[in-house]
Amino acid sequence: MKYLDEYRDPTLAVKILEEIKNHVTQPWVIMEICGGQTHAIVRNGIDQVLQGKIELVHGPGCPVCVTPLETIDRAIDIAGRPEVIFCSFGDMLRVPGSAKDLFMVKSEGGDVRIVYSPLEAVRLARENPDREVVFFAVGFETTAPGNAMAVMQADKEGLNNFSEIVSHVLVPPAMKALLSSPDNRVQGYLAAGHVCSIMGYKEYEPIARQYKVPIVPTGFEPVDILEGLLMVVKQLEEDRHQVENQYVRVVRREGNKAARDIIQKVFKVTDRKWRGIGLLPASGLGICETYAAFDAEKKFSVDAIHVTEPDNCISGLVLQGLKKPVDCPAFGRECKPEHPLGATMVSSEGACAAYHKYHRN
């Protein structure tokens, strides 16, 4: 982990910052896709030091935030059943469903457990043959290989008591949707480094050409982000629109073929609803026919779900980069991390949570 320190080097950070300031001739609007980057930006005050030079808008890159309410309600329904051990990453537990969250299910006696890897859920299935183990598989392309691997592993071991609720989302379709919107102001993108480490950046090249936007796959440390911004700014100032890789220590153009193959084996591309944004065609992953037996939504029939979103939450606009969390009237008042109204206040990658944690006053 030591190597990360050089990407947090204050001298280097300030040097790149100065270079950005020297290059900028007009206030460009740049979106960082990934919630991890949003946090790093807000935590380190990168948005503040660039005020007036670059406007940073925060993208939809928080998988917890965009998981549709219907899916959360369905997960809550399944998690409350006595035969089920429900496994999820910690962040998902506090995301409000229509009536309650998964923590409440736990306090009502549901067997809800936080795991750090889907393979832990597979292990639980192996150790508890008389229980149904359900894993809540959310995330972008980054976590898809691991979640696919868990299905393959369960299949190999013949564990028919393991299944996943899959709500995977894909970045490029969301980028296209944002760019084709008439409200779009975004002129350049920092693409999510972790996603590109799996998928590569070939698929961003046609987007950069078609919409005339520079796209730079970027890491998560402050120096990474500043460097990524500098690369976007240089392109904008030179009127270039290409995909350039900042995160060379991790990302290859082709991505990770082995990981992509696993995804393809287990998942198929589907239409997916994004919370706050709406239905985007071919923007998600679901379990393919071959592995349908591991699809929790098929295994457990859930009665029709009627979702109710809190009407004063503008997280949809926040996720599209159209509003900042501080523009929301509920921010820091009715809506706080202790009692969140929207998912963007819950997740450690949500923009509202980042603003509340670091920028409150």
Should residue 202 be labelled a site residue for other proteins when binding is judged by CB under 8 A?
no
Comparing CB distances to other proteins, the nearer of 88 and 320 is 88
Residue 310 sits at φ, ψ, to 5 deg, of -65, 130
Among other proteins, ligand SF4, none, residue 180 binds (CB under 5-8 Å by kind): none
Comparing CB distances to other proteins, the nearer of 109 and 182 is 109
Among ligand SF4, other proteins, none, residue 46 binds (CB under 5-8 Å by kind): other proteins
Among other proteins, ligand SF4, none, residue 119 binds (CB under 5-8 Å by kind): other proteins
Among residues 37, 38, 44, 67, which is the contact residue for other proteins, using CB under 8 A? Answer: 44
Among other proteins, ligand SF4, none, residue 98 binds (CB under 5-8 Å by kind): none
Among candidate residues 41, 39, 52, 37, the one with its CA nearest the CA of residue 13: 41
Should residue 117 be labelled a site residue for other proteins when binding is judged by CB under 8 A?
yes
Among ligand SF4, other proteins, none, residue 43 binds (CB under 5-8 Å by kind): other proteins
Residues paired with residue 29 on neighbouring β-strands, in sequence order: 55
Among residues 45, 278, 281, 329, which is the contact residue for other proteins, using CB under 8 A? Answer: 45
Taking the complex as a whole, the smallest distance from the CB of residue 186 to ligand SF4 amounts, in Å, to 19
Single-letter amino acid code for the residue at 14: V
Scan residues 10-29 and list those touching other proteins (CB under 8 A): 10, 13-14, 17
Residues that bind ligand SF4 (CB under 6 A): 313-315, 318, 325, 328, 330-331, 335, 340-342, 344-345, 352
- Distance from the Cα of residue 299 to its chain's centroid: 26
Among residues 116, 239, 304, 306, which is the contact residue for other proteins, using CB under 8 A? Answer: 116
Buried b (16+ CB within 10 A) or exposed e, 88-101: bbebbbbbbbeeeb
Among other proteins, ligand SF4, none, residue 344 binds (CB under 5-8 Å by kind): ligand SF4
Contacting residues for 97 by C-beta, under 8 A, at least 6 apart: 69, 72, 73, 75, 76
Contacting residues for 121 by C-beta, under 8 A, at least 6 apart: 87, 115, 133, 134, 135, 150, 162
Among candidate residues 183, 162, 121, the one with its CA nearest the CA of residue 321: 183
Q: How far is CA 331 from CA 98, 269, 286, 359, in A?
A: 20, 35, 34, 12
Comparing CB distances to other proteins, the nearer of 46 and 280 is 46
Comparing CB distances to other proteins, the nearer of 4 and 279 is 4
CB atoms within 10 A of CB 293: 14
Comparing CB distances to ligand SF4, the nearer of 172 and 340 is 340
Should residue 175 be labelled a site residue for other proteins when binding is judged by CB under 8 A?
no
Should residue 146 be labelled a site residue for other proteins when binding is judged by CB under 8 A?
no
